[in-house]
Amino acid sequence: MHISRSIFRQLLHPQGRGTQWSCFSTTVKMQLDISGIYPPIATPFNSDESIAYDKLQENIAKWNKIPLRGYVVQGSNGEYVYLRDEERVDLVRHVARAAGPDKLVVAGAGCESTRDTVRMCKRMSEAGARAVLVVTPCFYKGLMSNEALYQHFTKVADASPVPVIIYSVPGNTGIDMAPEVIIRLSSHPNIAGVKDSGGDISKIGYIVHKTAGNDFQVLAGSASFLLPAYVVGAVGGVMALANLLGGPCCELERLYKEGRMEQAMRLQHRLIGPNTAVTKKFGVPGLKAAMEMLGLYGGPVRSPILPMSQSNRDILAGILKEEGFV
């Protein structure tokens, strides 16, 4: 049974975000406010590449003191493509236990097939995730037409026990999800929004404009364009840089909301260099090295990614120092 957004909103209980209601034998899923700043947390490994759960708990204890909205577990910076399914689910379970009571845990649940993605959504919900981030399938990217992607996300959202956030990350997948597909999906009552990492501000603004009234929210996928994304209507961001500079990222959000645009712009400018360093320039090894420079546990990467060279560490430290973060 299809339920329009207007009827869907009338069914909402004011205290019940993220829960489920049964109506005419149909499960109606509550829409979730996903606004705010999230780090797509780095997965900490020991020297033997096993997961360092003790270090994970130490990092979360520090992040819990920052006004982050929550945590994205198994995003691109979590090296999830190198983890077994059981490791992915177990990480979410550990984060859900350690997260502060006010933190929203979002789990990366994307798989290449629709049926495996549905299965992973259910497992992540059982592990404690209150929403799932679903990346575009990409191995057969030549076959991922607009209709194929629409059908994939619709089937996933129909079956997921928690709200779905679309994840478009063309830098990793080679697929820049078309605005018309996102706009079409925005009316689904169990799709809460999209994380767009492409960096096209006009696209973000267009999606915000065309999805107005659909209880659909847009998250920026990088700290390098967080302020411009806010200006055109985004409600927050999922950003690698928030792993190490969560405080400044949240400060940028606060400055924008208070209308202190000149200060927000200056802070945005300072975040661009470090963000570029831990994303495009050095990637996950750079992210983990930068975390260690700022008192968090980064640890090794999982093979076949190579560790960061000392010369690149020196360059990274110089970038952080130049912008006043070290």
Whether 62 is a known active-site residue: answer: no
Which range, of 5-9, 244-248, 290-294, averages the lowest pLDDT?
5-9
The answer for 301, left when phi > 0, alpha when psi is -120 to 50, beta otherwise, is beta
Which range, of 30-44, 268-282, 283-297, 304-318, averages the lowest pLDDT?
30-44
Q: How confident is the model at residue 21 (pLDDT cuts 50, 70, 90)?
A: very low
Spatial contact of 316 and 322, defined as CB atoms under 8 Å apart? no
Q: What percent of the chain has pLDDT over 70?
A: 91
Which range, of 1-5, 102-106, 142-146, 205-209, averages the lowest pLDDT?
1-5
pLDDT, position 17: 37
Catalytic choice (29, 103, 195, 203) = 195
Q: Which of 125, 50, 124 minimizes the C-alpha distance to 82?
A: 50
Whole-angstrom Cα distance, residue 219 to residue 209?
A: 14
pLDDT, position 4: 44
Spatial contact of 51 and 88, defined as CB atoms under 8 Å apart? no
pLDDT, position 195: 98
Average pLDDT value over all residues in the chain: 92
Spatial contact of 201 and 228, defined as CB atoms under 8 Å apart? yes
For the segment 76-81, the average pLDDT, to the nearest whole number, is: 96
Spatial contact of 320 and 274, defined as CB atoms under 8 Å apart? yes
Q: How confident is the model at residue 30 (pLDDT cuts 50, 70, 90)?
A: low
pTM over 0.85: yes
Domains and CATH numbers, the chain: 1-30 (no CATH), 33-264 (3.20.20.70)
Strand ranges in the chain using DSSP code E only, listed in sequence order: 20-23, 26-29, 36-38, 70-73, 104-108, 131-135, 164-168, 191-196, 217-220, 236-238
Q: What is the CA radius of gyration of the chain?
A: 19
Q: How confident is the model at residue 23 (pLDDT cuts 50, 70, 90)?
A: very low
- pLDDT of 294 > 80? The answer is yes
- pLDDT of 28 > 60? The answer is no
Two structure tokens written together for 210: 């065309």
- pLDDT of 293 > 80? The answer is yes
Q: How confident is the model at residue 1 (pLDDT cuts 50, 70, 90)?
A: very low
SS (H, E, C) 217-278: EEEECCHHHHHHHHHCCCCEEECHHHHCCHHHHHHHHHHHHCCCHHHHHHHHHHHHHHHHHH
Q: How confident is the model at residue 264 (pLDDT cuts 50, 70, 90)?
A: very high
Whole-angstrom Cα distance, residue 53 to residue 75?
A: 17
- pLDDT of 99 > 50? The answer is yes
pLDDT, position 325: 96
